[in-house]
Amino acid sequence: MNLAPAWCEALSRDGWDSLHWSTVGDPRATDRTIVEWARTNGYVVFTHDLDFGTLLALTQDLGPSVVQLRAQDVMPGSRRNPVVRVLHQFEAALEAGALVVIDEARARVRMLPLRRPSSDG
C-alpha cells in the first residue's frame, strides 16, 4: 500500500505480473496478512516499508520474497529502470526466497530464512 499503483503498469511493461494490494485485499490489512497472501499466491512483496523485512527476520519464514525500495523518490518514473535491472539480476534468488534491498547506490540480497548473527565469539 505504500507504493503507488502506477508501479503495476511500469513493471508489467517489462513482463512482471504485478498487482497492487488495494485491488486484492483490505487496505487496512496487517503486514502478516499481506505476507500470507503473497506466499499462498506466489507473489513477491514489493514495498517501501521496512516492516516486511523485519517480519521475515522475526519469523525466519522461507517466503515470500520481499523487495524493499529504499530511496527518497520511490515513483516509477525515476526508479523503474534500476528496479527492473535488480529484478532481473536477482530473479533466481527471488524465486528461491530472498530479501532484496534496493537503495539509491546499490542492491543487496539475503536468502531466506534470515538468520540472526550468532552470538558465539
Euclidean distance between CA atoms 119 and 103, whole angstroms: 28
Confidence of residue 120 (pLDDT cuts 50, 70, 90): low
Classify residue 121: in a domain, yes or no. Answer: no
Classify residue 53: in a domain, yes or no. Answer: yes
Classify residue 74: in a domain, yes or no. Answer: yes
Region 66-84: mean pLDDT is 95
Q: What is the pLDDT of residues 16-64, one digit of tens each?
A: 999 999 999 999 999 999 999 999 999 999 999 999 999 999 999 999 9
- Domain span at 74: 6-111
Q: Which pLDDT belongs to residue 39?
A: 95
- Please give the model's pTM, rounded to 2 decimal places: 0.92
**How many domains would you assign to the chain?**
1
Classify residue 90: in a domain, yes or no. Answer: yes
Classify residue 82: in a domain, yes or no. Answer: yes
Q: How far is CA 100 from CA 23, 68, 86, 112, 120, in A?
A: 24, 6, 9, 10, 27
Q: What is the pLDDT of residues 76-108, one digit of tens each?
A: 999 999 999 999 999 999 999 999 999 999 999
Classify residue 25: in a domain, yes or no. Answer: yes
Classify residue 117: in a domain, yes or no. Answer: no
Q: Which of 80, 114, 77 is nearest to 98 (CA)?
A: 114
What are the respective helix, strand and coil percentages of the chain, to the nearest 5?
40, 15, 45
Classify residue 119: in a domain, yes or no. Answer: no
* Amino acid identity at 75: M
